[in-house]
């Protein structure tokens, strides 16, 4: 699976995807493997919040790799329609029909190097011939078949392109992908590296027929139409590119802070998951994938991470003390956090905004202390609602009862399962003390977030 050559696609379009017709992954082995991973993280698999996590993860993985059990042939052949005037070889565009492009198809796939989902913006174009056209929605469906597998961006583009070329038999077909891969920071540098990039971005392309020559005029037409959508086409890679692997896990050198025996058990569990999905763990692109995934997962090992408060102590403000009337509102915005959804073992990340009242004339709490609190509660198996509450209660215990916390986050589980909604964002809020009763104070803080976002 995953080999790229013409023969591979001939077999696929005739007989499926090198897996048994009707093959369905076994979810029970996947669930058992997930339990091993959770126990490796030090979690209680019977805890209420994660008791159903193995079943949820198994379901999400099976759904996210359903492309192994689908045939591009069935999609294409049922949607070819006759169209007069599209005789092969008439004009550089293959006939009066000219170039056809479907842009901005939102897809997601699982990275074969680390098993984390990545987002894809897909643009597909072809030049009709043979007096037939294909239903436009089928271009998206064929792309989705190959996206719903363990993938690499370039191979994904090549597979979609070759499958469409074989099924439609056009004068030419082209695929351009814009891919985003989440880039987690090092656990020890979670809030210290201000230059950390949250996403690794890459654009790749693939062409057949008229598009095989990357300098052909037809490529200029294709890319010009993409520029209407604001795409930067200058940095698009081709399959002949020598650019390094885009997956951050392949360049990471972080050590796993746990026993070797435990690591081997977790590696074996991930290998079992790959087999259950119908993949070949001995495929060269997957040989090191279990270890990379475990290395990433161990960032969230249940351990007593140090909560670095640097000796900060602050008693609660006495609401009847005269100085309380002179309290000033302070805020620290856009504190970055990274976490792991305990329901699906998928990452979510975003920013935390914290507001509080401080007696006039006293120094506000250092940003580094608030960052430490956010970092402490972020690098765990979490849910956003609990994270919001824990941060607010901890800050309140240090500064007094008047605290407001707003958390904004993007969840991979919203993209790679369920509604598959790219670009969605979740906001949660906790109000303690004065912020729960003083609407003016609350609105002033919320406005400061809006002003920062606008600027």
Under 8 Å between Cβ of 404 and 174: no
Under 8 Å between Cβ of 367 and 403: no
| pLDDT beyond 80 at 193 | no
Structure confidence at residue 125 (pLDDT): 94
Q: Are residues 184 and 133 in the same domain?
A: yes
The Cα 24–Cα 66 span in angstroms is 9
Q: Are residues 74 and 56 in the same domain?
A: no
Q: Are residues 322 and 294 in the same domain?
A: no
| pLDDT beyond 80 at 91 | no
The closest alpha carbon to 105, from 132, 154, 141, belongs to 141
Structure confidence at residue 20 (pLDDT): 42
Of 275, 300, 325, the domain-final residue: 300
Under 8 Å between Cβ of 141 and 75: yes
Q: Which residues contact 128 (CB under 8 A, 6 or more apart)?
A: 83, 86, 94, 95, 97, 100, 168, 170, 171
| pLDDT beyond 70 at 7 | no
Q: Which residues contact 224 (CB under 8 A, 6 or more apart)?
A: none
Count the Cβ atoms, other than its own, within 10 Å of residue 449. Answer: 18
Q: Are residues 181 and 274 in the same domain?
A: no
The Cα 167–Cα 78 span in angstroms is 10
Evaluate whether residue 95 is within a structural domain.
Answer: yes
The DSSP bridge partners found for residue 432 are 403
The Cα 344–Cα 276 span in angstroms is 18
Evaluate whether residue 432 is within a structural domain.
Answer: yes
The DSSP bridge partners found for residue 292 are none
Q: Which residue has the tokens 């972080």?
A: 254
Evaluate whether residue 5 is within a structural domain.
Answer: no
Evaluate whether residue 2 is within a structural domain.
Answer: no
Residues 265-300: tens digit of each pLDDT: 999 999 999 999 999 999 999 999 999 999 899 888
Q: Are residues 384 and 437 in the same domain?
A: yes
Of 273, 300, 327, the domain-final residue: 300
The Cα 325–Cα 363 span in angstroms is 17
Mutual angle of helices 153-168 and 136-147, in 10-degree steps: 140
Q: Are residues 55 and 71 in the same domain?
A: no
CATH number of the CATH domain containing 132: 3.30.1130.10
Under 8 Å between Cβ of 86 and 97: yes
Under 8 Å between Cβ of 358 and 434: no
Q: Which residues contact 416 (CB under 8 A, 6 or more apart)?
A: 60, 64, 108, 110, 117, 346
Q: Are residues 371 and 424 in the same domain?
A: yes
Mutual angle of helices 289-297 and 260-276, in 10-degree steps: 120
**Mean pLDDT over the full length of the chain:** 82
Q: Are residues 293 and 204 in the same domain?
A: no
**Are β-strands 172-182 and 150-151 bridged in parallel, bridged antiparallel, or unpaired?**
unpaired
Of 252, 287, 316, the domain-final residue: 252
Q: How many residues does the chain have?
A: 455
Across 34-43, 192-201, 351-360, least confident range? 192-201
Q: How many domains does the chain have?
A: 3
Q: Which residues contact 375 (CB under 8 A, 6 or more apart)?
A: 190, 191, 305, 337
Element containing residue 178 per DSSP (H, E): strand 172-182
The Cα 244–Cα 374 span in angstroms is 33
Region 97-118 average pLDDT: 90
Q: Catalogue the E-assigned strands of 310-378.
A: 328-341, 347-358
Q: Which residue has the tokens 């073992």?
A: 345
380 CB-side CA count, 13 A: 20
| pLDDT beyond 90 at 179 | yes
pTM score of the predicted model: 0.83
Q: Which domain holds residue 179?
A: 67-252
Positive/negative CA dihedral, 67, 72, 74, 79: positive
Q: What is the Cα 414 distance to its own chain's centre?
A: 9
| pLDDT beyond 70 at 22 | no
The closest alpha carbon to 155, from 119, 118, 205, belongs to 205
Evaluate whether residue 21 is within a structural domain.
Answer: no
Q: Are residues 77 and 58 in the same domain?
A: no
Q: Are residues 334 and 448 in the same domain?
A: yes
Count the Cβ atoms, other than its own, within 10 Å of residue 27. Answer: 16
pLDDT-based confidence at 254, cuts 50/70/90? Answer: low
Structure confidence at residue 288 (pLDDT): 95
Q: Which residue has the tokens 């792991």?
A: 340
Cα-Cα-Cα-Cα torsion 283, 287, 293, 298, nearest 10 degrees, comes to 160
Region 22-31 average pLDDT: 78
pLDDT-based confidence at 362, cuts 50/70/90? Answer: confident
Evaluate whether residue 10 is within a structural domain.
Answer: no
| pLDDT beyond 60 at 9 | no
Three-state DSSP class for residue 228 = coil
Evaluate whether residue 18 is within a structural domain.
Answer: no
Q: Are residues 46 and 87 in the same domain?
A: no
Q: Are residues 279 and 392 in the same domain?
A: no
The DSSP bridge partners found for residue 124 are 102, 175
Evaluate whether residue 9 is within a structural domain.
Answer: no
Q: What is the Cα 257 distance to its own chain's centre?
A: 25
The Cα 175–Cα 124 span in angstroms is 5
Positive/negative CA dihedral, 380, 384, 385, 387: positive
């Amino acid at each position: 699976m995953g080999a790229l050559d013409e023969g591979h696609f001939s077999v696929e379009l005739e007989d499926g995807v090198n897996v048994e017709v009707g093959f369905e992954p076994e979810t029970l082995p996947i669930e058992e493997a997930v339990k091993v991973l959770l126990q490796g993280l030090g979690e209680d698999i019977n805890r209420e919040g994660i008791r159903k996590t193995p079943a949820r993860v198994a379901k999400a993985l099976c759904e996210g790799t359903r492309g192994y059990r689908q045939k591009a042939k069935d999609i294409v052949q049922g949607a070819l329609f006759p169209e007069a005037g599209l005789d092969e070889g008439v004009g550089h565009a293959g006939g009066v029909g000219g170039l056809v492009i479907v842009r901005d198809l939102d897809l997601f796939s699982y990275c074969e190097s680390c098993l984390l989902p990545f987002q894809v913006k897909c643009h597909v174009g072809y030049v009709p011939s043979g007096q037939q056209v294909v239903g436009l929605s089928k271009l998206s469906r064929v792309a989705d078949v190959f996206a719903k597998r363990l993938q690499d961006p370039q191979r994904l583009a090549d597979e979609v392109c070759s499958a469409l070329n074989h099924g439609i038999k056009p004068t030419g077909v082209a695929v351009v992908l814009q891919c985003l891969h989440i880039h987690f920071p090092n656990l020890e540098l979670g809030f210290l590296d201000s230059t950390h990039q949250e996403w690794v971005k890459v654009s790749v392309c693939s062409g057949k027929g008229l598009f095989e020559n990357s300098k052909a005029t037809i490529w200029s037409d294709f890319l010009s139409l993409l520029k209407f959508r604001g795409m930067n086409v200058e940095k698009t890679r081709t399959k002949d590119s020598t650019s390094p692997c885009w997956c951050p896990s392949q360049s990471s050198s972080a050590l796993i802070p746990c026993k070797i025996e435990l690591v081997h058990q977790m590696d074996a569990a991930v290998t079992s998951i790959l087999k259950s999905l119908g993949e070949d763990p001995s495929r060269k692109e997957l040989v090191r994938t279990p270890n990379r995934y475990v290395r990433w997962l161990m960032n969230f090992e249940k351990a007593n991470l140090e909560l670095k408060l640097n000796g900060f102590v602050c008693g609660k403000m006495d609401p009847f003390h005269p100085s309380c009337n002179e309290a000033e509102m302070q805020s620290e915005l856009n504190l970055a956090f990274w976490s792991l959804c305990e329901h699906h073992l998928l990452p979510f990340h975003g920013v935390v905004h914290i507001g509080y009242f401080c007696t006039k004339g006293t120094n506000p709490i250092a940003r580094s202390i608030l960052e430490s609190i956010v970092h402490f509660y972020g690098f765990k198996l979490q849910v956003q609602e609990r994270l919001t509450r824990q941060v607010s209660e901890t800050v309140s215990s240090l500064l007094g009862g008047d605290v407001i916390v707003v958390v904004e986050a993007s969840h991979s589980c919203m993209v790679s399962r369920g509604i598959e909604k790219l670009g969605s964002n979740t906001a949660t809020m906790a109000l303690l003390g004065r912020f729960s009763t003083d609407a003016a104070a609350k609105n002033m803080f919320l406005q400061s977030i809006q002003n920062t976002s606008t600027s």
